[in-house]
Each structure stands twice: as structure tokens, then as C-alpha cells.
Structure 1
Amino acid sequence: MTQHGHPTIADVARRAGVSKGLVSFALNGRSGVAPDTRERILSAAAELGWSPSLRARSLSVGRAFACGLVIGRSPDVIAADPFFPSFIAGVEDEFSVSGQVLVLAAATPGRQEAETYRGLAADKRVDGVILSDLRTGDERIALIGELGLAAVTLGVPDVDSPFTSISVDDGAGIRLAVDHLADLGHTDIAHAAGPFSMLHGRHREAAFEEAAAARRIRSRVVETDFSAADGARATEQLLDAATPPTAIVYSNDNMAIAGLGVAQRRGLDVPRDLSITGFDDTEIGRHLHPAITSVSTDARGWGAAAARALLEAIAGAPPDAIDLPDPRLVVRASTGAPRA
């Protein structure tokens, strides 16, 4: 063993009675090793507690054994949005057992973001990337293709894409929220929407308008940047209207929680004076008073599915379109019948 007590390939070779080259072949899953010899080598490695050197593996097979997630939002918004920690936890659930490392970066959409992808590819720091927050005519699709990186997209792009997509029907969750409020008797409902430049923000806004029209409900929409501060601003704007809505459908829980605070500071009773729904069903929203009715999408499961799909893409699997289960509405105390 080395002076630090860590077993090496040479130690495994001595224990198994074979050459170091044969050990390398067996441990990397390459052909040319008899089944009984491979088993003897693997048993010797397990007995010694041998684990692979990521650097050595990278050099031997020409891979980084790392994947990138570049989030094109303000670091403040990322830090406050519970979706990303849950999503990343799901990615790590898969990567932790596959020897993969997640490289995380926040970058301003546009030139800085493109340079971040180019740097990751030029330095061979990642084998593939997860593309989040898809945008209208997303230029990153072509860029990642030119850089020769494997990729998966969270959602289906509105441009031609050679990559696997992992999708949740955001619109289904918004429709559930609108139908729930309509069933309670609401006829004037507003939507605090995400950025229209992001496809999922636009999809949720379109689903809201369609659901409201189907239920013959008066609707209005305020665009936000998904942050709690902008959710509070949108709430103030809606409540300052000559005829305020009796319910607001928020595009994430962060904004719904901010909206709850705005309403309570104004002396409004939630849900008698204003019903509120969120999106993502975050843990903190379940413990407020009143607890937030929210659309649940399983961000952690989405992260795990994206990680699995990316590893398959890196291994050469053809692109696919993977649809995850539709979200569900978790009804809690923040929604009720409007005041007569």
C-alpha cells in the first residue's frame, strides 16, 4: 500500500496474483478478462477497500466524470428558490452512486452564460450538461451542440434539439389550481406569472388564461422574475386595483409566501378575503399559517431523472422525450370560498 495506507492497483494485482494491466482491464469493465479472473480481481479490490482515482479514470478513458448545471438567474434568486436545492439533491442521488461530480455555476443569461459553457467544454471539465429554464428560441441548444457536449433539457425546446428532454406538464398544475378556485366559487382570479422569456413561465401563463376562459372567470396576469420580492410587488399591484381579485395563483411558492405576507400586513384574512395558491409545494409553505395550497411536482425526482438521462446520453444513448407524471394539487388552508 501507499505510505498513506490507500490500496493501489499494484496491491490489488498482488492480492489477485495477476498483472496490473489485467487489473486495470477488469476494474474498468473492459473485455479480455476471463470471468473467473475478473471475479477474483473484484474480490481482491473489495477486500482491500480499493476505490478508483477519479483523476486516473479520467485520464485513462478521456472523460471528466463530471456534469454541469449552469443556472442563468441572479444568485439571489437561486439562493431563495427552494426548487434548485431539491432538484440538485435528486441529481446527487444518482451521481453519488455513479462516481460522477456535479459542477454548478450561476451566470447572467447571454454572453457570460455562453462563455461559461465554452470554458467548461474547452477545459474538458464536464462530459455533459443539464439545460434548465428553457427560453424562447433558446440559443444554448445550438451552442451545446457545437461544443460537442452531451445534454438533457428540462422541458421541450421550441427549436430543433438533438438532446433528450425531461418534461413535467406545468400547465396541468395551473389548470388544477384554477379549477379548484372556481369550484370554491371564485370568479375573479389573478396570476403572478414567471418571466415570459422562459418557456415554463409562458406555458403556465397560457394554461392559466385557457383554464380561466373555460370556467368563464375574469382573469388578469402580472409578469414577475420568480423572486419573492417581485411576488410581493405583483401582489401589491393586484390588491391596489379598483376591484382586487379574490384569489391569486402564483407561479412558485416563494412568491405565494411573499403574497401571503403582503395580504396579512394589509389586514386581509386568508382565505376569506384572498385565496392563495403556490407552485412546487415547498416544505416551508406547509408550516405557515395558513398553510399554502400548492402544486406538487417532485423536484427531487425530476433531478434524479435528469441525471439518469444525462448519464445515458454520455454513454451514447439516442435522444428521447421523457414525460414525468403530471403534478398534483395539494389543498391546504390558504384557499377557501370567497367572502359573500
Structure 2
Amino acid sequence: MTIADIAQQAGLSKGAVSYALNNKPGVSADTRERVQAIASGMGWHPSLAAQSLTTSRSNAIGLMLQRPARMLGNEPFYMEFIAGIETIIAPNDIALVLHMVENSEREVAIYERWWAQGRVDGVLLVDVVLGDPRVEAVNRLGLPAVAITTREAARGLPHLWTDDRAAMTAAARYLIRLGHKRIARVSGLAALDHSVVRNSAFTAAAAEAGLDSATIISTDFSGEAGSRATRDLMSAAAPPTAIIYDNDIMAVAGLSVAAEMGIDVPRELSLLAWDDSPLCRLTHPALSAMNRDVSELGGQAAEMLLTLINGGHVEDRESALPVLIPRGSTNAVSP
């Protein structure tokens, strides 16, 4: 169905029909209403491809993740994050271009190609590190971007941030109040901005409480890495009595390792996961977790980016603080 078909049915020129359908001056209100009624009855819908030619818009935003594609289906965080993005962009007929890359250099190269070819109108930056080359790249290109990171790492980009320092301090103090004097943290990639903040807060909380030990092991967020880290920790001469994991997948893997090694959770070992998910509630015992609305986080990021693309002013925004949800995997230290 084309404008020419509608023009023939309405007995008008294609130009007049175009004015009516696009709510432009040049036709009367009665004509506009009649044309729109005819178009609706004929099942006509505007062509996004044609609109993009006249507006220089692609009607798409980009999101790149630096991880193997096979991990995406196993990572509840990004599934919920993408779902939140879609709740905002789908009603606006905007598409999400999702791409998996190996490193920042490859990501920058794709941004350059996307922007030169008009493939996207803007991008969301995730997993940001201090001094991240992607921040400089989007600024250099003039590519609208919103970063999910701290002010220091965003370096002037509009950004959405979470107070990971306060959240990690609350998580560590919870375990300390349960009587744990040897705690450990299985972190994600050490260079990530939120890893740096959480590691610092974890170490500070342990020092403040005068703990016997507070160990940090950095991983790649995978279940395999979480399993290895847990085995290493629990094979030490003085193993921890509590572990905080940087995601739900590693926490579930750690729970399996505890069962494999004959360690009772939570009587001998307490486990706490970051970013609550259905996985945490399906284990036995259910995993205590730091809970936040990840879907809302994705929606907020998408709202900020669309405002930026449309020429609006975007204020940096703080997302809701993660809330500790105690479940069966944490307990007071046995006397």
C-alpha cells in the first residue's frame, strides 16, 4: 500500500495526501481527516525507511557487549537490561542493534562504521573502565551516547550511575554483623569501573571491622570462573566463612562447589549474590542477594538516550540503590 493508492481512492494528488498523512500545512482539516480515514481503512502504515531518508534518522540505537555470544543467554542481567530498553524504544518504533565484540578497539571501529553509514542514532555504553577509549571515540565522532557508569569514568558523557560503594558497604557489614571474620569477594573483571568501586568499599568495610581476612579474586563473570574461585578459596588453610559474588551465575556455581566439597550452606559458609534474579530463588537453599530493578535501569538508560538524540537536555541520573534480600544462603556464624 502506497500514497499513490490512497491518492487514487481519495481523488487527490500524491502531494496533498502526503501533507495530510504527515500533518503538514497545505490541506484543510476536513481533507486531512478524510485522507487519514481512507489510509486507515486501507491498512496503510508509514514507511520507516522513507522517513529515515527525509529525517536523516535510522530509528535505531546500538548496544555492544564485550563477551562471547554464548554467554548472553546465560546472563540474566543483560536479558533484563535489554527488556527494559525495549519497553521504551519499541512503542517509538525504534530498533535495538545488539552486537557482541571481543575488545574496545573492535567496538570503536564498529561505532565509526555505524555512524558513517547512519546505522544508529545513538548508543549505550556499558562495562565502562577508567580511561575507556570508547568514551573518547563517541565524543570525537559526535555520536550521541549515554554511559552506565560513574562520573569519573563517564568523563562528561551523560551517564546513569548506581552508588555501588554504599551497596557494597551494606553487603559487607551485613555479613560482618552475622559474625563473619573471614570474608571473600569473587569480583568481575578488575578493570571495570564498578569493580574498582566495589573492591574499594569491600576492603574499607573489612578494615573498619578489623577482620582477620578479606580476599578478592577477579574473574570474567562466568560460572566456570566462579567455580574455580570458590574451590581456591575453600581449599585455603583458613577458608572464608562468607563470600560475596559479583553476579548470580557465579553465586550459583559457588553453591554447587560447596555441595561438591561437602560444605554446608549456610551453617559453614554464607553466600551472597549481586543482582538478584530468578536463578537465586530457584537454588536450594535460595541465595541471599543484592536486588535492584535491572529492567528499570535499562528503561532509564533508553529514555536518556532518546532525549539526547532528539536534542533535549539530559541530566545525569542516579538509579535506585540495590536492596539486600536475605534468604537461606546466609546465616550467623556457628558458635
Please report the TM-score for the alignment, with normalisation by the length of structure 2.
0.92
Match of 1:145 among 111, 135, 139: 139
Q: Please give the alpha-carbon distance, in whole angstroms, between the structure 1 residues aligned to 2:147 and 2:226.
A: 26
- The aligned counterpart of 2:281 is 286
| One-letter amino acid matched to 1:89 | A
| One-letter amino acid matched to 1:282 | S
| One-letter amino acid matched to 1:176 | A
The answer on 1:228 being equivalent to 2:219 is no
Alpha-carbon spacing, 1:78–1:15, altered in 2? closer, same or farther (3 Å): same
Question: SS of the counterpart of 2:183?
Answer: strand
Question: SS of the counterpart of 2:152?
Answer: coil
Q: Please give the alpha-carbon distance, in whole angstroms, between the structure 2 residues aligned to 1:297 and 1:76.
A: 25
Bigger shift: residues 152-161 or 305-314: 152-161
Match of 1:58 among 52, 74, 85: 52
| Deviations 1:44-90, CA, capped at 9 Å, x for gaps | 44444322212111112111111110112233443422111111111
8 A Cα contact 1:162 1:319, kept in partner: no
8 A Cα contact 1:228 1:255, kept in partner: yes
- The aligned counterpart of 1:3 is none
Aligned sequence identity (%): 40
Match of 2:247 among 232, 243, 252: 252
- The aligned counterpart of 1:298 is 293
Question: SS of the counterpart of 1:295?
Answer: strand
8 A Cα contact 2:23 2:32, kept in partner: no
Match of 2:84 among 87, 90, 106: 90
Question: SS of the counterpart of 2:159?
Answer: strand
- The aligned counterpart of 1:135 is 129
| One-letter amino acid matched to 1:143 | A
8 A Cα contact 1:271 1:336, kept in partner: yes
The answer on 1:240 being equivalent to 2:238 is no
The answer on 1:313 being equivalent to 2:313 is no
Q: Please give the alpha-carbon distance, in whole angstroms, between the structure 2 residues aligned to 1:71 and 1:283.
A: 22
| One-letter amino acid matched to 1:177 | A
Q: Please give the alpha-carbon distance, in whole angstroms, between the structure 2 residues aligned to 1:121 and 1:307.
A: 18
Alpha-carbon spacing, 1:236–1:119, altered in 2? closer, same or farther (3 Å): same
8 A Cα contact 2:84 2:297, kept in partner: yes
The answer on 1:106 being equivalent to 2:103 is no
Bigger shift: residues 178-187 or 267-276: 178-187
Match of 2:319 among 309, 316, 324: 324
Following superposition, which runs of at least 4 residues in structure 1 exceed 3 angstroms of deviation? 10-49, 76-79, 159-162
- The aligned counterpart of 2:261 is 266
Q: Please give the alpha-carbon distance, in whole angstroms, between the structure 2 residues aligned to 1:34 and 1:180.
A: 68
Q: Please give the alpha-carbon distance, in whole angstroms, between the structure 1 residues aligned to 2:8 and 2:206.
A: 72
| Deviations 1:121-156, CA, capped at 9 Å, x for gaps | 122111110000011101111111222211111123
The answer on 1:275 being equivalent to 2:274 is no
| One-letter amino acid matched to 1:262 | V
Question: SS of the counterpart of 1:244?
Answer: coil
Give 1:42 deviation, angstroms. Answer: 4.4
Match of 1:75 among 69, 79, 84: 69
- The aligned counterpart of 1:213 is 207
8 A Cα contact 1:181 1:247, kept in partner: yes
**Equivalences, count:** 334
The answer on 1:167 being equivalent to 2:199 is no
| Deviations 1:86-133, CA, capped at 9 Å, x for gaps | 111111111110010111101111322221212211221111100000
8 A Cα contact 2:64 2:98, kept in partner: yes
Query: Superposed, which structure 2 residues align to 1:36-51 within 5 Å?
Result: 40-51=34-45
| One-letter amino acid matched to 2:69 | P
RMSD: 2.2
Match of 1:194 among 188, 194, 200: 188
8 A Cα contact 1:194 1:202, kept in partner: no
| Deviations 1:240-280, CA, capped at 9 Å, x for gaps | 11100100011111111111111110001100010000011
Give 1:9 deviation, angstroms. Answer: 2.8
| One-letter amino acid matched to 1:63 | R
Q: Please give the alpha-carbon distance, in whole angstroms, between the structure 1 residues aligned to 2:181 and 2:85.
A: 41
Q: Please give the alpha-carbon distance, in whole angstroms, between the structure 2 residues aligned to 1:307 and 1:260.
A: 35
Q: Please give the alpha-carbon distance, in whole angstroms, between the structure 1 residues aligned to 2:326 and 2:23.
A: 50
Structure 2 alignment gaps of length 5 or more: none
Alpha-carbon spacing, 1:168–1:220, altered in 2? closer, same or farther (3 Å): same
